[in-house]
Structure formats: structure tokens, C-alpha cells
Structure 1
Amino acid sequence: MHILKFGGSSLASSERIKLAAKTIQEHLKKDSVIAVFSAFGGVTNDLLHMADLAAAGDEEFKKILETNEKRHLDAARELVPVTSQSGILSRIKSEFNRLETLFEGVFLLNELSEKTKHVISGYGEILSTAIISEYFKSLGVSTELVDSRELIVCKNIHEKVFVNYEKTNQNLQEYFSAKQVELFVVPGFVAKNDLGVPSTLGRGGSDFTAAIIAGALQTEKVWIYTDVNGMFTANPNLVPHAYSLKNISYEEAMELSHFGAKVLYPPTLQPVLDKNIEIHIKNTFDPDEEGTLISKSSEKNFRWVTGITHIDSIKLLNIEGSGMVGISGFSKRFFEVLFQQNINVVLITQASSEHSICIAVKDLEAEAAKEAIDEAFENEIKAKKIKPVQIEDEVAIIALVGDRMKSHHGLSGKMFSALGNNNINIRAIAQGSSERNISAVISKADVTKALNTLHEQFFEVPSKELNLFITGVGNVGSRLMGQIKKQEAYLLDKLRLKIRVLGISNSRKMLFDENGIDLDNWESVLNEGEKADKLEFFNRVNTLNYRNSIFVDNTASPEISGWYKNYLANSISVVTCNKIACADALENYQNLQNLSREYGASFLYETNVGAGLPIIDTLQNLVNSGDRIIKIQAVLSGSLNFVFNNYDTTQPFYKVVEQAMKEGYTEPDPKIDLSGVDVARKILILARESGLELELDDIEREDFLSQESLNSQNNEEFFRILEADENVFQEIYENANNNHAELKYVAQLEDGKAKVGLQEVGATHPFANLSGSDNIVLFFTDRYPEQPLIVKGAGAGAEVTASGIFADIIRIGKK
């Protein structure tokens, strides 16, 4: 005898019912079949909704009832030949008349009893099996419709189901041994109590029905057909990389189903566990897929962790106080109160100091639990020996499950480390002595992030997914996108990094795509995006709450740099080429560093000095390894270096500056570069990275521009003044030429003081012969007192700046 069960999703339409029928016919080639069916998809929810509407005096239930009647009549007409329809159509109308009478009674009384709710909710299975039975008869299959209400005996107490197995097994054995047909069509979910009143086995109870029958008849296997390929490593709706498990044990399946894996109704395992009856979870729509085998042993499952699951409809209750410490019987009283109120405890944890007990219960039971406990311990609360129960909502439980976890050291550490690195706070922890389950209570808002983080840690090929949110997609940003696209395959193959761009923004538009923005046509898609808004951009990044999120700033905007603290405080890493933040007031700079450490979010800004050159990284390595900075000398402006390398008075100074601006070497406002403010910011950043507490005003700046040009209001006015000041620039050039020297804009840090200014350097100086936009930094330290450590190379340009930002992103990925 083959026992099969088909869920509501497998019966949502006539086409799906026909597909299920093909599977049943394949089983019939090998043996007779008992097929257990749920209601058509969504019908049970409609029945309960109608009952609630009727109890509330809302006549809307009549429209929903009419829609459901039509749905069932239409299904019968599609599945059963015209010549055989009269009987089933009459049966459907008769059942809906009974339903209408029940709803009218609820409506008139404005009362919905538990007994009535059980009777109403079971009609979906009664209707579906009546139609399916007639369909199989029309196919020529010897079929009998079974009324499981006459066979399965149970009682319901506060949503808990207790099966009378002695009576049930006797009924089932007698019934099926006396029948000789090919196919038994059985409604799932429904049963009766000891008094013969219709009852149910709980939501998802059709699985339970199939298992009860299998246990009574002691078959070898039971097949449960659903809409997925078995039980998954995690919920595939929340974890895209989750995959189906081939083999798991009864205990693992029990843990996973108890903790929210909806593929299997938890009580299903009770009737089959002791009899070693295998459960096969299969996909109705892809029956050739292997699915999941649930059996006594999961030895074929080679992973330490079998699955990750969660429950989100819970609340935490915490009771604490010095009056609990060393008091025998306190826990007994505490849990006895909950037992008396029929409240099930999902999770328990108690501090070893005995100062507090924390439990998790279903969210609908939390208030009743609090009232009962506070009442039971009223005297202790009044005496201030303990505090009233505190309820914490908006929480969820996540759990690692696996038989082999007890054989492997360090799993808890890996779990909590992975969560901590993504700033997922753990409110409570519980682990059974069997070590088959490690549970943690977290914020409900962090569930998706936590599940994906843990799945990445325990189930995926060692790799890390980085989720980027980029603002500023102009000169530098567009090149960054191109570099990411070009290196996509290489990074995944060599570094096990998968980089996704989920959000982009310029000054006008912004765009988000949780599946990843197509980097081949992002410009055209961005043009169709929504209006840019810095607050909304941050809110979207924060709400998406993806693990390994990185905010990338490719602008020079003071306003955007002001948002770094918000990102870091929400554990979102920041990578930026924008110097404003690190050259801001010392207090703000230090605050960003502190936020980065406190919330575990990286704050990287290598491109603040020297574009793609490893200047800051080199300085940090020197300091971190215990070296002391004596002096720094540097040419840090690629734009100024380009200008003075190309200015030889054969063309006006302003023309050379225009060329530098056109080729992307300057800021959008070139005055920032030529005024020396940009270089002052860079040496300030190096000073701070060296351990000095300096402000921008502490940097001595020697200007070579006229005060009039420095006070200009826009680029047009700035260039007009530069053109008028040409004789000044020619004089500066001629003086250097006469001294056989080159002009370099030099930054210097020594004895705790910093200055920047235009200098003449001789031919033998390391700064001489710097070509194009090259930068150079000389680090004089205790280890390099005479011959400095030199970093030299291209220090400006969109391509190298983008590569420096890219390198910082990769650095985060490799942490």
C-alpha cells in the first residue's frame, strides 16, 4: 500500500489536480494507493475568514462564500465528464448550503465557538476529495471516497491535538483490510472527537493524517507531495542560495519543522518515528526530483549543520530579581503557572546566577502569560524581590539544526561570530544537551540578514557576498562600475567574492534593485529611476538590511559625507574618496573612527590621499607595527603636479588648468586644488593617521593665487581672473627656471606641525622629474631615518581613483 499526501498548493487549479493525478497513476502501477488530500489552495483560509466576518456581523462573508462555491463547481465541471456531473454538483451545492447555515448561525449569534470553527474549517477537505474522487472514477480507476472523520479520533485542547491512537489504529486497520479497491481518496486534516463531533488535526494536519494512516498500517514509506523539492537548508523565499536536503533524520526534521520549516507539519513525525517509516518529501510539479528522505539516520548528510530555520511569531518574557537566587522551587512555580494556562514555552534560558529566567512564547499568549506570572508572584513583586514580567516583542528565534553538530567543535563560535560581524544583536541563547539545535533570539528585522549570513557561513562554497550602494556615478563612479563588471568572474573564482550593486544615485535620480543592478545598462535604467533623496537613500539601504552592506561615496559633497555616521552606526561600511569627512573637525573624524569600531563597520578612505596609491595603508602599517613618524614630505596633488609639469608659458596658465579639469585631474571646482585646500586636507589626514590631533586651520598654507581669484564665486569668474593674472604665473615660472629648479606644490609634516605651499626643487631632489599627475610621499621614521620609505605613482585621475575605491571594497570582502 502506497500512502500519498497532496497539499493545497498541489490542488490550486484543475491543471494542478490533473498533474497530481498523473503522479498517483504512476504509484498505482506498483501498488494500491491511499491518497490524502488537503483543501484546494487558499480555501481553508477563506473558510476561517468567513467565520470571523460572520462573528463580527459583517455580511461580506456571503460574497466570499459565493466565490468559493463557484470555484468548486467550476472545478467539478472541468474535471468530471458532463454525463457524470449531476451527482457531484448536487453534493457541492448541498455542502455549501450546510456551510451557509453554519455561517448564518454564527452571524446571528455574533459568536464563533471553537467547536464551530473546527466544523467549518474542515469543509475544504470534504469538498476537494469529493470532486477528486469523482475525477478518478471518470478515469476508470477503482476509487473509494473515505470519510476520515469516521476513522481518526482526537481531541483538541487550546489548539493542541491529542490523537487517540488505540481507537484510531483499530478503525484504520479494520477499514482498509476489508476493502479491495485501487485508490482510496481520503480528506486530510479532519477527524472526530470521542463524542463523534467533527474536529481537526491542526493547520497543516493533512501531513499528520497521512502519517497516522501509515503508522496504523505499518507501511514502509509515506510520500508527501508539496510545491517544493523537499526540505531546504533554509527558507528559499528568504535565502536565495538555499537548496534541498537529500537526507535528514526524524530528529532533524522535527527540529526544523518545529522552528518554522513549513514543508512538514511538526506532529507528522509522531506516528512514524518508532516504526521507522520513511517520509519522502516530493515536488508535485517535478516528481522526478529526488526530494528529501526523512528516516532514522542522516549519515548520508555529510554536513555538520543540516539546516537553518526561524520562528518569528514569538515574544520574550523575562523575570528577574534577587529574590530568585538560591530559592528552591522557584522555577517549578514559574513553569507550573504557564502549564495551568496551557501556554507552551518555545525557548528557555536561565542565567547561572539564578537572577533571571527568560522564555519565549507565541506572541498571542504573551499577555496572558505575563498576567498569570505577575499574579502568582504578586507578593514577591510587592516586596521588590523580583520585578514584574517584562515582555519584549519584535523578536524572532533563529536556529542551527543538525545531528552531527555535537561531533564538531566551534560551531557556536562560528555562528555567533558571523552574526556579530554583521551587527546582529543576540538577546538570548539556548542549546539542548543533545547539541542538535543551537537557538538564538534576535530582532525580527534582522531575520533575513541572519539567515543569509549563517547560510553563507555553513552551506555555501566559501565565498562572501558584498552588497554595494553607490552615490556619485559620474567620472569616478562610472569607471568603478566598469571595473566591478570586468572583474566579476575573477573575484568569484580567485577571491570567492560576489559583488552586487543594489543601489545607485546621482544628484538627480536614484535606483534600487534587490536582485542586483545590471552593470551593462545602469545609466539608462538610472535615468528612469526615482528622484534622488539622501535621507530616503539611507532609509532604503538601512531597511533592506543586507549583510555585508557597503555605502560608497564617489562625490566631493560635504552634505553626503555628513551621512557617514548614520551608515556606520547601522553597521553599514563606508568606502569613500570624499576627503571632507576625514578632514572635518577632529571631533567628527574621531567619532567616525569610534563608530566604525563600535558597530563593526569598516570605514576606508585610501583614495583620500594619492588616489589609488597605498599611502594611507602604508602609513597605518608603519604606525600599527610600532614605528614612529619623524617627518612626511609629499607632493599630494595630481592636479597641481599636472599643471606645473605642463605650464611652460607657451600657453596661458588658465589654459593648462582647463586642460587638467577636462582630463579629470581636478575637483569640479578647480579652485579647491589650486588654492592648496585639497593638499592641506590630505596632509591633515596623514597627520591624524600618524596620531596627531590637528585641525584644518592648524595647517599653514602659502598661497600662490591672488586673493581675488580665491574669492571668486564660480568657475567662469575664477578662470577670468587667472587669465588676468598671467604675468604673475610667468614670473613664478621664470624664477624657478633661472634657478634650474622645478615647481612643486609640497606638503610637509614635522615636529607636530604641517604646512603646504609651492616650492622650487632641484634636479637631485626625489620630487624632481615627477611626470604627469604623479604623487610621491617620503616617510621618515625611526626605521627609515635617512633613506625614507617612498610611495610614488599616479595620484589623480578617475580610473586610478576608482581602482583605489575598488581595492577598499575588496579589502572589506577579505576581512
Structure 2
Amino acid sequence: MKVLKFGGTSVGSVENIKKVIAILQQQSETSKIAVVVSAVGGITDKLIEAGELACNKNPDYVVKYNKIWSIHNEIIEELFKNIEDDETVLELQTELVENIGTKLNELRSLLNGIYLINELSPKTKDKLLSYGEYCSSTIISYILKALRIDAALKNTQELIITDSVFNNARVIFEQTNKNIKSYFKNQKQTITLLPGFVSKSTNGETTTLGRGGSDYTASIIAAAINAKEVQIWTDVSGMFTTNPKLVKQASPISELSYQEAIELSHFGAKVLYPPTVMPVLRKNIPIVIKNTMKPEAIGTKITSTKKSNGISPVTGISNIDGIALLTLQGNGMVGIPGFSKRLFETLAQEKINIILITQASSEHSICFGISESDAIRAKEAIDTVFEFEIALQRLEPILSETDLSIIAVVGDNMKSHQGISGKMFSTLGKNNVNIRAIAQGASERNISAVIHKNDVKKALNSLHEQFFEIKTKQLNLFITGVGNVGERLIQQINQQNAYLKKNFKINLRVVGLSNSRKMVVDEDGIDLKNWKSHLNNGETASLNEFFNHAKNLNLRNSVFIDITANTEVAYIYPKYLKESISVVACNKIACSGDIHYYNQLKELSRRYNASFLFETNVGAGLPIIDTLNHLVTSGDEINSIQAVLSGSLNFIFNNFNNNTSFFEIVKQAQAEGYTEPDPRIDLSGIDVARKILILARESGYQMELDDIESNYFLTEEAMKSNTVEAFFETLKQDEGYYQKLYEDAKSKEYQLKFVAEFANGKANVGLRQIPEGHPFYNLEGKDNIVMFYTKRYPEQPLIVKGAGAGADVTASGLFADIIRIANN
């Protein structure tokens, strides 16, 4: 014989009830079955609401009651609609309507009584809630009879006997088991319908087994009759590796041990009511969790032993919300016995359940987690019990923290694997998830941590990625500045994403996009094929609101990417880093601004374990900063740096001659995207000065931009121009001056290059005449070149050379920084 339990969602609609009936027909073909049903989905909540309204003298309880009445009657009407009418069916329908009507009239009288006496006691609440299960089981039993299916209805209150602790009664198993065995011994029908959740005290009063008690009912019956298995039919395909509502990659667990099921259900896996396991565990009866909407799905099987999944020693990750953490501490506790006894006795007397306990070996403090709803009552009771010690300052008043959650990593095989807790806590730390308390049993089957409730989603996703996704790492990108370079970066991400997933287990998702006018954020990732339309239809852009979106989403492995030249954007980096959101900057302002700000960003990056990368600040996509960092971290010392660092200036001077005007070449460089939109930034030399300053700082020198000696080649009128248009006019007017620069170099067979130099703690930039044979002489097009003279490369420098300007190579440099973060 099997015992099947169907939850509220499974009997929550006519369509679902039909699916339940199909399952019962199929399973009853091979054996007898006992079927435990919950109240129709949502009815239990409506009963509670109606009772509370009546208790509060709110006449709207009648509205709730009417809704309960109409839901049941509509279900009856719809179910009988599709059954071929005959005299028996009509009689059954009439009888059912009268039966349910009588029960609901009793319910109405009970609510009226609650309204009149203005009280809803635990005893009355149990009686109130019992109507939900009674109605659903009665309806299904009559439908089965109308379909000529051999079925009987048995009131569970005649079988399960409990004490008189209302709302969560304790089963008296000796009498209960005797009742169940006696009934089923003589039961002839193929299907027996039983209301779940409800029971009766030894005094004959209605009691309940707690919310979720229908699972427990099924388990109690199965254990009593030595059933072949218990099937828990619900709206999900088994227990999942973690909460699928918070982690999209969560997957069903095919097998669990009883102990794992207990741990997961205790720590928030709501598919299974925690006490359910105990009765069947003793008899070694399997529990199978199935999906009513997808009966073909394998589901989860819970037994005494299970096979390893071969992927991870961790079986599942669960969470409990609404936790308060209370701490009793003080020097007066050290070495004094009895404090724990008094503390826990106090909580027991208040009927407060302890979810988690941890105590420091110094005995200076005891920390425990309870339901947030019990926090105030617990604090008042404990402070009262320890009033004397608190008055003498031997103890501090109990400290209570709320808005917390517990996450738990569970698995039978964790004990035989080293480093599980290390992986768990390092993963949380990398994602800036602060741990308030930790608990781990000697069995090592469960490692629990208390965290802030806002970090739960990020924590579950991070841990699931670590333990279940075969090292696939997801990065969530927030990009501001989607002009020429930004557009190319998005194209590259869209183009390479499948390749990265397949070959490097990296999943890049663009979650936020912003330009100076509009911004769009989508937690599920923006469709990169239509990102422009999404952005155009987005909300008004705001730097602070864009940051707030990134902060509030609190996604794991988040990265902010700045592809602007905006000062305001550059000074928002600390906000991101403090939230452990990495920063990738194309913008040079932050790293070449005030030295204290540069150092602050470096420190924040270290403190909050968030990368701060800016490879494209120097040389676009060339690995110049990366190469320099490798030299320094490996112990090499920088003697000097010589470089051509402006792809735009190199392009200009490689193409400028006596057959073209300087104005025309600068215009061409601007049109082809080699210069900034404002070419004065490039031609003034300030951009190159910023770059050599960044290289000097990365070499370990504390320098400011004012320390860079600049030998500008522009005319005084060009330097003073207030607008781009005015600047271009000066280039036309001063063409003779620029031609003279060219002719002077040509006469010596030299090339004009704008060069940056750093040596002995000093740096300068300026236009130089480069002789033939020098490494800079044949530098083509928009190329950059950097020569590092170091302790290891004193005579023949380490040279990095290649394209140093252009949207594609700059975007590829940003892309490389993103991949560095993914590989970190």
C-alpha cells in the first residue's frame, strides 16, 4: 500500500484536481492507496484572515467567508460539469453540496462567535482551520464516487490522537498507530481519502499538526501501516539544490538521505515539512516528492542511503528568512556554570524555538538564532532572568539583531571532503557577504551561517555557482558610456559569450546600460541584440540611481564599467568598490587625478575584495599596465620608461606632410575615432601626461600630474581656444607654424613623435625629433610603443608595441579586464 499526499496547490483549481484524479486512477490500478489532501490552495490563509477580522470586530470577515464559500461551490459545479449526468451523479452532487453547505454554515457560526466574544484562542483557531482540509477531502471523495472509482472518506481526527497543545499538537503514537492499523486492516475500498493537518486531542477537541502538517499526516499513516512508500505531490519537481525562485540554475535533487532531507527542510526547504521524515525513517519507508503538474518528472527520492551525484559533496543549499540573532555576553559568564541552562530554560518556558546556537570557546558569549517574531519576547524574558547579573555589570543586556537570514550548506559526504567550509566562506567573502554567526555540527552534515537578509540571493547564487555549476562563473556587468567604444564592447560580448561559456566556463550578462540621457537595468540580463531600443525606452539617466540599482540588485560578481571621460563618473568608483562591485575604467581621470584618491581606490579594492582595473588607460588594448604590474610584483625594479603613448598623435604625425594641412589631418583623426571628441585633449599633451603619470604610479612612485614636465607643441592661440570650433580655426591660421615643425624634422631625416619619458622619479612629455634607427622611428599609423628599462632589462628594454587607439582595440582592452576579473 502507498500513501499519497497532495498539497494545496495540487487541489487549488479544477484543472489541478483533475490531474490529481488521473494520478489516483493510475496508481490505484496496482495497489490500494491512502490519499491525504490539504485544503484548497489559499483557503487556510483566508480562514486565518477571516478569523482575525472577526476577532478585531471587523465585519469584513463576512466578505472573506463568502469568498471561501464561493470557491468551494465553484469547484463542485465545475467538476460535476464534465461528468455524464445520471440519477446517481445528481444525487451525489446534491448530497455533496448539502454536506459542504452544512460544514460552511458551522464555519459561519464559529466566525460569528469569534466576532461576538472578540477572541481567537489557539483552541478556536485549530477548529477554524480544520474546515479547509475537511472540505477539500470531502469534495474529492464525492468526485471519485461520481466517476465510479472505488473510494471512501475517513476523518483523520478519528485516527490521529494528540495532546492538547493547540496549533502544533504532539502526536500520541501508541494510540494513533493502534487506530490506523485497526481501520486499514478492515478497509475494503481501493482509495481512502483523508484530510491532512487535522487531529483530535485525548479530550476529543480539534487539534492541528502545524502548518505543513499534511505531510506529517501522510508519514504517520505510512509508518503505522508499513506502507511501501510515501509520495508527497506538490507544485515542484522535487527538492532542489537551492531555492529555484532565487537561483535560476537550481536543479532537482534525484536522491536524498533522510538526514539530508531533515537538514534541508529544517533550514527552509519548504517542499517538505521537517517532522515528516521521522515516522518513516524508523521504518525505512521511502519518501518520494513529485510534481502534480508534471507527474512524469522523476522527482526526489528520500531513503536511508543514496548514491553520490558525482559532482559535489554538497547536496543542497537552503535558507531561512526572518531570523533574529540574540547574544548574551559578559565577563561574568567565564568559568561560571549554569548560564546556558538558565538561558535555554527561559526560552523553553516561553515556547521559543532555537534555530541555531554558537558559543565562543572563551565562554564570554552565547549567540543563538530564533524567529524574528519571537525576538522582543525573548529579550524581555532573558533580561528579566539575568536582571541581577546585568545590574552588577557581570552581564550586558541581551543584544538583539534583526533583518537576518540563515543559509545552510548540507550534504552527507561533506565530512569526507576537506575545504568545504573554506570554499563556502571564501565565496561569501569575495562577494562582500558579511557573516554574523557560524554553526557547524560534529557530523559536518550542515554548515550554517547567519547573514543579512538582503544578501540571501547573492549568497545562494554564489554558493550554488561554487558547488554545483562545474566552475561556471557568471559576471553581471553595469556599463556606463555606450558611445563608439561602448557599442564595440557590447558587440564583442555578444559575439564571444557562447565561446566563453563553452571553453572557459564564463557567463557574461549585461545587466545595466547607461549613457548621458537614458539608462536601463534588467536583473535577468539585457537582450544584446536589441540593447539600443531597450536603452532608448529606459528611464532618465542618473549616476546615483544607476549605482543604487547595482547596489539593490546585490548580484554576485558585479562589475561597473566606465567608458566615459567624465569627472563625475570617475569619482563615483568608491561607492561601487565599497559594495564589492569591481570597477573597470577606460576613463583616465581617476588614476591620474589626486594621488590620495588614486591610493584610496587601490585600498578600497583590496579591503572589499573588488578588482579595480584600468588597462585601457594606457595603450588602449595593449597589455602595458598588465606587463608593468607583472614586472613589479615579480620583484623587478623600473629604471626608466620611454614611450609613444598617443595613438592619435602618432597617426597625425605619421600622416602630416607638406602635401596636407595639419588641420585636415587632425580632422581625419577625429572622424576615424583616433582622438577624443574634443581633440584638444589629445593634442595638448595632457592625455599623454596622464598616461605616463599612471605608469609612474603603477611603478610605485607617488606623483601628481603637476609633477609632469610638459613641452607643448601647439601655438599659444590653440592652447587658449575655448571651443573645439575655435581650436580648429587656430589650426588653419597657424598652418605655417606646423609646416615649419615638419620641414625642420624632414631636413634632418628625423620623424616627429610625441614622446613620454620617466626616469629617476621624474617624467616629461613633448614633441621629439626621432633619428633613424631608433625604435620609435618606424612606428606606423596609430601604434603605441612602450620601452621598459628595468633591473632585469637594463640595456635591451622590454618592449610592448601595437595599435594604441581605435574603438575596437579599446573595447578589446576593456574586454580583457573583464576576463581578468572572471579568472580572479
Residue in structure 2 matched with residue 39 of structure 1 by the alignment = 39
Q: CA–CA distance in 2 between the matches of 1:782 and 1:300? A: 54
Does structure 2 conserve the Cα–Cα contact (< 8 Å) formed by 1:126 and 1:187? yes
Structure 2 equivalent of residue 56 of structure 1: 56
Letter in 2 for 1:174: S
Residue 671, structure 1, aligned to residue 701, structure 2: no
How far does residue 529 in structure 1 lie from its aligned partner after superposition? Answer: 1.2
Alignment match, 2:206 = 198
8 Å contact kept, 2:565–2:587: yes
Answer yes or no: is 1:350 the counterpart of 2:359: yes
1:167 aligns with 2:175: yes
What per-residue deviation string (whole Å, max 9, x for no partner) do you get for residues 499-533 of structure 1?
Answer: 11111111111111222111111112211111111
Q: Which amino acid aligns with 2:656?
A: Y
1:331 CA displacement: 1.5
Partner of 2:475: 466
Secondary structure in structure 2 of the residue aligned to 1:427? strand
Per the TM alignment, residue 701 of structure 1 is displaced from its structure 2 partner at its CA by 0.9
Query: Within the alignment, does 1:491 sit opposite 2:507 as a pair?
Result: no
Give 1:3's aligned residue. 3
Deviations 1:569-594 (A, max 9, x none): 11000011110100110000000000
Aligned counterparts of 1:222 and 1:492: Cα–Cα separation in 2: 40
Q: Which amino acid aligns with 2:75?
A: A
1:744 paired residue among 753, 771, 780: 753
Counterpart of 1:157 in 2: which secondary structure?
coil
Paired residues in the alignment total: 815
- Matched with 1:544 is 553
Is the Cα–Cα contact under 8 Å of residues 466 and 500 in structure 1 kept in the other structure? yes
Contact 2:123–2:166 (CA<8 Å) still a contact in 1?
no
User: How many Å separate the matches in 1 of 2:443 and 2:470?
Assistant: 28
Q: Deviations over 1:78-108 (max 9, x none)?
A: 1125623211112222222221221122222
Q: Give the alignment of 1:581-660 within 5 angstroms.
A: 581-660=590-669
Corresponding position of 1:568:
577
Aligned to 2:188: 180
**Equivalences for 1:59-98 in 2 at 5 Å?**
59-80=59-80, 81=83, 83=90, 84-98=92-106
- 1:258 equivalent to 2:266? Answer yes
1:398 touches 1:442 (CA, 8 Å); kept in 2?
Answer: yes
1:680-719 equivalences in 2 (<5 Å): 680-719=689-728
Alignment deviations for residues 730-781 of structure 1 (CA, whole Å, 9 cap, x no partner): 1111111112111111111111111111111111111111111100011111
Could you tell me how far apart the structure 1 residues matched to 2:66 and 2:338 are?
Answer: 57
What is the identity, as a one-letter code, of the residue corresponding to 1:273?
Answer: L
Q: 1:129 to 1:160 in 2, by over 3 A?
A: closer
Is 1:127–2:141 an aligned residue pair? no
Mapped pair 1:418 → 2:423: no
Larger displacement relative to structure 2 (566-575 or 360-369): 360-369
Gaps of 5+ in 1: none
Aligned runs of 1:58-457 on 2, under 5 Å? Answer: 58-80=58-80, 81=83, 83=90, 84-155=92-163, 157=165, 159-302=167-310, 303-457=312-466
Q: Measure, in 1, the Cα distance between the counterparts of 2:574 and 2:742.
A: 44
Whole-angstrom distance in 1 between the partners of 2:792 and 2:308 = 58
> Which ranges of 4 or more aligned residues in structure 1 deviate by more than 4 Å?
none
What secondary structure does 2:616 align onto?
helix
Partner of 2:489: 480
1: CA distance, partners of 2:753 / 2:167: 82
The aligned residue for residue 16 of structure 2 is 16
**How far apart, in 2, do the equivalents of 1:290 and 1:133 lie?**
27
| 1:754 matches 2:763 | yes
User: Which of these residues, 802, 814, 819, is aligned with residue 810 of structure 1?
Assistant: 819
Residue by residue, what CA displacement relative to the aligned partner does 1:606-639 show, whole Å, maximum 9, x if unpaired? 0000000011011111111111111111100011
Partners of 2:78 and 2:551 lie apart in 1 by 49
Alpha-carbon deviation of 1:190? Answer: 0.9
Native 8 Å contact 2:164 2:202 kept in 1: no
Q: Report if the CA contact (8 A) 2:123-2:167 is conserved.
A: no
Partner of 1:792: 801
Aligned to 1:502: 511
Q: Which amino acid in 2 is paired with 1:7?
A: G
Name the SS for the 2:438 alignment partner.
Answer: strand
Partner amino acid, structure 1, of 2:608: Y
Q: CA RMSD in A?
A: 1.2
Q: TM-score w.r.t. structure 1 length?
A: 0.99
2:27 counterpart of 1:27: yes
Q: Which moved more, 1:488-497 or 1:569-578?
A: 488-497
Query: What letter corresponds to residue 65 of structure 1 in structure 2?
Result: Y
Alpha carbons of 1:162 and 1:763: their partners in 2 closer, same or farther (altered >3 Å)?
Answer: same
Kindly provide the amino acid, as one letter, of the partner of residue 11 in structure 1: V
- Whole-angstrom CA distance in 2 between matches of 1:336 and 1:176: 42
SS in 1 for 2:240: coil
| Aligned AA (1:283) | N
Aligned partners of 2:738 and 2:295: how far apart in 1?
Answer: 82
Q: What's the CA shift for 1:158?
A: 7.2
Distance in 1 (CA, whole Å) between partners of 2:469 and 2:399 is 39
SS at match of 1:391: strand
Q: Is the 8 A contact 1:248 1:301 kept in 2?
A: no
- Aligned residues of 1:469 and 1:541 also touching (Cα < 8 A): yes
Return 5+ residue gaps in structure 2 as ranges: none
- Please give the alpha-carbon distance, in whole angstroms, between the structure 2 residues aligned to 1:660 and 1:312: 58
Partners of 1:298 and 1:403 within 8 A in 2: no
CA distance in structure 2 between the aligned counterparts of 1:423 and 1:8, rounded to whole angstroms: 38
**Would the alpha carbon gap of residues 568 and 156 (structure 1) be closer, same or farther in structure 2, given more than 3 Å must change?**
farther
1: CA distance between counterparts of 2:118 and 2:450?
39
C-alpha displacement at 1:161, in angstroms?
3.0
Compute the displacement of 1:712 (Å). 2.2
Please give the per-residue CA displacement for 1:162-207, whole angstroms capped at 9, x wherever unaligned: 1011111111111121221121111111111111111111111111
- 1:179 and 1:690 map into 2 onto residues whose CA distance is 86
Q: How many angstroms apart in 2 are the aligned matches of 1:130 and 1:71?
A: 14
Counterpart secondary structure, 1:253: helix
Q: In structure 1, what residue type is equivalent to 2:595?
A: L
CA distance in 1, matches of 2:691, 2:115: 76
- Letter of the structure 2 residue corresponding to residue 282 of structure 1: K
Check the 8 A contact 1:158/1:342 in 2, yes or no. no
Q: Deviations over 1:92-128 (max 9, x none)?
A: 2222222122112222222211111111112111111
TM-score w.r.t. the length of structure 2 is 0.98
C-alpha separation between the residues in 2 aligned to 1:612 and 1:563? 24
Q: Distance in 1 between matches of 2:210 and 2:606?
A: 49
What is the CA-CA distance between 1:156 and the residue it aligns to? 5.4
Instruction: Give the 3-state SS of the residue equivalent to 2:475 in structure 1.
Output: strand
- Range that drifts further, 588-597 or 240-249: 240-249
Work out the CA distance in 2 between the residues paired with 1:157 and 1:784. 82
Offset at 1:596? 0.1
Quick check: 1:679–1:756 contact (8 Å CA) kept in 2? Answer: yes
CA distance, structure 1, for counterparts of residue 181 and residue 308 of structure 2: 34
User: Deviation of residue 725 (structure 1)?
Assistant: 1.5
Distance in structure 2 (CA, Å) of the matches to 1:591 and 1:77: 71
